[in-house]
Amino acid sequence: MGKVHDKAEGARQAYRASLDRVLGSAPWLKAKDVKHFKAKVFKSGNSLALRLPAGLGLAAGTEMDLRVENGEHYSFEPSESPKRKFNVAKVWGAATGLELIKPEDRIFEERKLTWDQDEPEESGTKGE
């Protein structure tokens, strides 16, 4: 059993390495870091509850959205995730030497656009 498991794990690592080579220039396409945890379902009153490990970093009482896909895959996330903040201090002054575009450089030549073209006439007449 150990050899089969090691072989499967080796195949998974090789697959991930090949994806890293292919998607290296497109980091937004890379698979997210996935962690696996064991959780236990138990009865709580008339409902079922899922005991989640503390390693997830969730606070008690956090309202969650649960998504069920095809009746067999479950995922959940906080109902209102905290808003991401942009730190201007990290980029302030990074683009030195930029100048505003001059008004004369904002003028474009008129050209015919595809949606401005005349529609082709239909041959024949309708209803005859």
**105, part of any domain:** no
Q: So what's the pLDDT on residue 122?
A: 58
113-126 pLDDT, tens per residue?
888 777 665 555 55
What are residue 72's phi and psi, to 5 degrees? -135, -20
Give the closest residue to 48 by CA, choosing from 22, 80, 74, 18.
74
pTM for this predicted structure? 0.36
Q: Inform me whether the pLDDT recorded for 1 exceeds 80.
A: no
Residue 108 pLDDT > 90, yes or no?
no
pLDDT band at 128 (very low <50, low <70, confident <90, very high): very low
Q: d(Cα 111, Cα 88) in Å, to the nearest integer?
A: 39
Model pLDDT for residues 48-105, shown as the tens digit of each residue: 998 888 888 888 888 888 889 888 888 888 887 667 788 878 888 887 888 888 888 8
What's the structural domain count of the chain? Answer: 1
Look up the domain containing 21 and give its range: 1-35
Residue 94 lies in a domain: no
The average pLDDT across 20-47 equals 76
In a domain, 18, yes or no: yes
Q: Is residue 73 part of a domain?
A: no
